[in-house]
Chain A
Amino acid sequence: MAVVAILSCVAALLATAVLALAMARSILATRWVYGTCLAASIIALASAAIGLVGNSDGDELVKLPLGIPWIGANFRLDVLAAFFLVVVNLGGTAASLYGFGHGRHEATPQRVLPFFPIFLAAMNLVVLAADAFTFLLSWEFMSLASWALVMAHHRDADNARAGYVYLLMASFGTMALLLAFSLLAGVGGSYDFTAMRTADHTPLIAALVLGLTLLGAGSKAGLVPLHVWLPLAHPAAPSHVSALMSGVMTKVAVYGFVRIIFDLLAEPSWWMSMVVLLLGGVTAVLGVLYALMQHDLKRLLAYHTVENIGIIYIGLGLALAFQANHMAWAAALALTAALFHVLNHSLFKSLLFFGAGAVLVATRARDMEHLGGLIHRMPLTSFAFLVGCVAISALPPLNGFASEWLTFQAILQSPALPQWGLKILVPAIGAMLALSAALAGACFVKAYGVTFLGRARTSAAAQAGEVDLFSLAAMFGFAALCVLIGIFPGLVIDGLAPLTRDLVGTGMPAQLGLPWLSIVPIPATRSSYNGLLVFVFIGLSAMLAVYVIHRFGSHGLRRAPAWDCGFPDPSPSTQYTAGSFAQPIRRVFGTFVFGVSERIDMPRPGDIRPARFELELADLIWDRLYQPVAGAVELAAEWLNHFQFLTIRRYLSLVFLVLVVLLLALAIWP
């Protein structure tokens, strides 16, 4: 029943897209398209939630006579798909609601409206697909629709480059997934997931499948070093699409990884987890370090997506390690942590992108160096954005902390792993996770402090106004969810239990029955955390302090110019900027990670030319990994280009030569 409901929603979305193509220029189109998307997402969300909670009557399979004739298009809603559909449609609901208001500011609606519903529909289909063909087709649809949305403002040279890089990486990723599925299917195998699940895979095949899945799903998710397209493409799209791409599409990529590695490739070996853990750790640390160096608000958020994907993959890697060693309860804990973080990241990253979009609408600026003081001009947006910042920085009692806490608990279970490689790697990964959590806090102090606090740096920022109610509703909805999930993490953990039972054989112990709604992931260790009580205690203590001081101390307040050690400068340009804020951290990590070079040109006393400060940051991954490949491709293309301008005789002799070589090869072939 639920599958049919979601498929009808998908059909409705596709129909909307076709109609939007025809009438995109009309004024009503924006409302109508986002309205339909909103309704479809809500219905799909409800169906998926029913599929997740009330999955007692087993999975249902729907077969549509589409695609390859003897396979058809198979759709199945199991708990894993249901959970990710909840994530997808939750994001879709909020993005549509946000688009309702935000879409009115769109300069070229005809380039956004037709592709937005397709994008939503494709993401639903990827998760729902139950055979490789449907999966890959929907995956490609998702890539192309999001590419079209990235190219919505294609006249901007940066966006054109972003679109080009994205298209290359997306095709590369799909190719890797295609190969992975063909290996899983085997020589005479079927493309149906059920058949793949039961097939036997040799260790070599398993290794290749892992590598290809990491390339395919990892490039879409943004694993270092496949992340290069992500900080270019995500910010280029309109903000609600950025939210969907960062908050939701990367989660669909995580779904692809979980589906293939945990579900289809049943028995993992321990070295696989080493690869995943190492990639996750490096991704988490590098992602946040790159983010710290950005001064474009949306690009900063995109780099943070890279970091959070790293955290999710750390959880997945731990789950693989435990599963390979048959520690089912620990695997359940690690997998729950990873999937919990999937949900959390989709919430706060969408929220933050909505906020960045609101700032963009209000000030026309993405560069933080041109903002400042927005807390006075946009109080509601800035409050919602603050909630998102606290959540993503993993600070209690919000949701980001709950999932990172679970990941740390999972790391603490790993000394029981027998392999020495893991014993040495896991503590290092723990340190990397801790480092990335701390740096994320620093990064969001910077993002919030420079954008919303202080004094306005430009007149546009000084005259910004609050955004429309629909955008605010979307932001506050997600902010409320961040707080609620942070206070009641047990709800999500219990919701994920059937899923982990499916994938690793056991679920975490039920949390909702515990006294005071605290969470105790492993009863034997008695490690517990209670978001609700932390929240209540902080609230009560703060109120007590306010009451006591205002009642018995003073309550007088006077406004005066800032003190600033006696030298207040009226110019807002004396404030700390994004660049100066990151300088100490750049200095600590910079030479190692970014190859930072600073040049200071200070004129001699009496000389009147201006002083200059130049800073160069190198993207080492781009320079060392992508530039050589791009150079080689270009060299080969140059060389092959000679064949374009030959005479007909030469072409004919070439054809003859090739024929002879092929015939010779056939003759010599044993």
Chain B
Amino acid sequence: MAVIADLLVQGGEMALVLLIAPLLIGFIRKVKARLLRRAGPSIIQPYRDLARLMRKEVVVAEHASWLFRATPYLIFATTWVAASLVPTFATGLMFSWTADLLAIIALLASARFFLALAGMDVGTAFGGIGASREVMIASLAEPAMLLIVFTLALIAGSTQLSAVASVMASSSVGLRVSLGLALVSLIMVAIAENARIPVDNPATHLELTMVHEAMVLEYSGRHLAMIEFAAALKFLLYASLIACVFMPWGLASLSAGPARYLAGTAAYVAKLALCGALLALFETAIAKMRLFRVPDFLGAALMLGLLGVLLLFMSRSL
């Protein structure tokens, strides 16, 4: 009986992640529009977009191979699994030990690997440009991310996110220099990984500046829906990661009962709203940078991460 309940909670978490991801995107767009004194589209517009795309016929380029058609589902599945392994409203769920933070980062890398391949599959210049720039950004963002993981793991003594979250929630951690560095670095990486301003502009279709959009240029219909969904899930993943590590309040634990779960979910939604609002504010205030300024930006993230790890190697209490 207990096993079934745990399984249901785990399934519920996966469904919650799936349901809430487009909402977060819609929320950010709304806040951004309001900051620009526009009315903006409805907050549930992303759901409508996804539903519309899923109903449409797919137009596939003539040269495209099976890889092009399989990739959207693969990316969606990988990102979904990764996103549901990050603690959202509760820690220690039934399958939370399946993959630790290192594996979650690597799952995202898998998704990106296939997306970049799909970008090259049709054999157009834009697909190549997007793929090439995406892997350049990733080759700097990923090491920075792994160094952040090192920082968290050295403080918590584990790379398991549930364990990290419970250590962070305990009073023993307190304010630390290394955590501050990791937070700044993580935000920079999250911005780059999710193709947000100032690294990339998700709303652009100006050829010379786009990275992510250039890769998915040939996608349409349900394939595009899957990719957009995966992008939303990835954004949610980073938001949940920041929430569960740096704002670990209100997280329920396994078998805590429905009331705690509900409280955890409410806290989670509030944290996401906070993250989204802050991002919208930041994006409105800043301009997109040139592509070859991005390595400097990510290099700074990498150095901050390395500094955090070095401090922890010097002393566990820094």
Contact = CB atoms under 8 A, between A and B. Distances in A.
A423 B60 CA distance: 53
Given A434-B147, A528-B160, A576-B131, A445 B103 contact: no
Nearest to A398: B110
A102 interface: no
A557 B223 CA distance: 11
Top 6 closest pairs, chain A to chain B, by CB:
A576-B128, A454-B123, A449-B120, A553-B54, A556-B57, A542-B77
Contact of B150 (A373, A427, A556): A427
Interface residues of A, number: 88
A167 B98 CA distance: 49
Interface string B95-113: 1011110110011011011
A446 B135 CA distance: 9
B131 A562 contact: no
A545 B147 CA distance: 33
B58 A554 contact: yes
Interface stretch (B39-47, B194-202, B238-246, B307-315): B307-315
Contact of B218 (A376, A386, A442, A563): A563
Interface string A538-559: 1111100110010011101111
Contacts of B124: 562-564, 568, 574-575
A529 B142 contact: no
Chain B, interface size category, equals: 35 or more
Given A390-B113, A442-B136, A572-B123, A554 B56 contact: yes
B113 A441 contact: yes
B116 interface: yes
Contacts of A90: none
Contacts of A528: 97-98, 100, 160
A438 to B, nearest CB: 4
Contact of A562 (B62, B113, B141): B62
Contact of A588 (B100, B295, B312): B295
Interface in B288-318: 291-292, 295, 302, 305-306, 309-310, 312-314, 316
B228 interface: no
Between A386, A556, A572, the greatest number of chain B beta carbons within 10 A of the residue's beta carbon is seen for A556
A383 to B, nearest CB: 9
Contacts of B138: 438, 441-442
Interface in A408-446: 408-409, 411-412, 414-415, 423-424, 426-428, 430-431, 434-435, 437-439, 441-442, 444-446
Contacts of B147: 427, 430-431, 434
Interface of A: 372-373, 375-376, 379, 386, 390, 393-396, 401, 405, 408-409, 411-412, 414-415, 423-424, 426-428, 430-431, 434-435, 437-439, 441-442, 444-446, 448-450, 453-455, 518, 524-530, 533-534, 537-542, 545-546, 549, 552-554, 556-565, 568-569, 572, 574-576, 580-585, 587-588
Contacts of A557: 57-58, 60
Contacts of B121: 375, 449, 453-454
Contacts of A430: 146-147, 150, 309
A277 to B, nearest CB: 14
B117 A453 contact: yes
B142 A564 contact: no
Contacts of A582: 132
Interface string B60-99: 1111011100000110111011000000000000010111
Contact of B81 (A453, A541, A553, A563): A541
A583 B132 contact: yes
B209 interface: no
Contacts of A518: 97-98
B313 A415 contact: yes
A553 B312 contact: no
B98 A537 contact: yes
